[in-house]
Structure 1
Amino acid sequence: MDIKIQNLKDLKTRIAYLEIKKLEDELFVKQKFQSIKETLTSPFKFLKRIAAMVGISHSTDNTTSRSQKADWVTNFGRVFLPLFLNKTLLKNRGVLVKSLVSILSQRTINAMSFNKNVLVNWIDKATDLINSTKKKVKLPKKEIDYGIPPESETY
């Protein structure tokens, strides 16, 4: 590709052509880099979206604004409540019913309605209920006879 440059005008056009070619090549490399980067990070984005749906991590967009962050009790409830329901109440139900109940239970458990404080209150109420059902047998007080009647006068 030997181009003969004969005068100053040919030199300036060649420089302009090479600058445009340089910009085009940079843009091409940048687009290829972005394409490779998106290809490599797409599985992680998919996992982040799944985690955000389940509630393990929060999504980066502000479409779901939560006034309180989920604590470990909320995350634990989102994972194990569907498992508990599937093993107990939905034991002989179909896969479709189990999946719907799992999705609904994961969506309904949020940081406002199920957190450490709520769990502690539930445990306190359960222990109060258990303690109140135990009937404490009160023995009748026996009056002790000291031999002197209480209304007697002593001089």
Structure 2
Amino acid sequence: METMRKESKIRNLDDLRLEIARLKTLAKEQEDYLSDQYRLFNDKVSAPVRFIKSLISWVPGADIAKNLFAKGKKDEDWLSKALRIGLPIVLNRFFLRRAGFLKRALVTLLSQQAAGALNKDRISSLISKVAEFVRPAKRGRRVVRKAVDYGIPPDSETY
């Protein structure tokens, strides 16, 4: 059985160089075509999202809601993230048991916004201010105690 053999157009070095140039040109054309198709596909897929964003931009107060539901901010620390999750749960569980859905949703949004404003630096400064207020104020002048003289100096060689 004879194997199929493809005849090559390349007979010498010049033919090889021409074939390499032709293949490079063909590859460049295909890359350009695929990049154009990819760009067109992305435009078609993102068209509904752009349409919805343009509709939302007309709604007053939409920016505030968008900022509330934005992903984690870069300057948030662990305490802010924990308060964003924990504060609405605690408020809804203990203080708003019999409240309606709208009240709970409003309190959740507001508590998440307030938790985002808090961070560990602000809380530590608040705690230090409260501690300053609670500590008793120092009265009068400070009493200076004199060292008690027991008669024998500590460095003496007396036993």
TM-score, normalised on structure 1?
A: 0.41
TM-score, normalised on structure 2?
A: 0.40
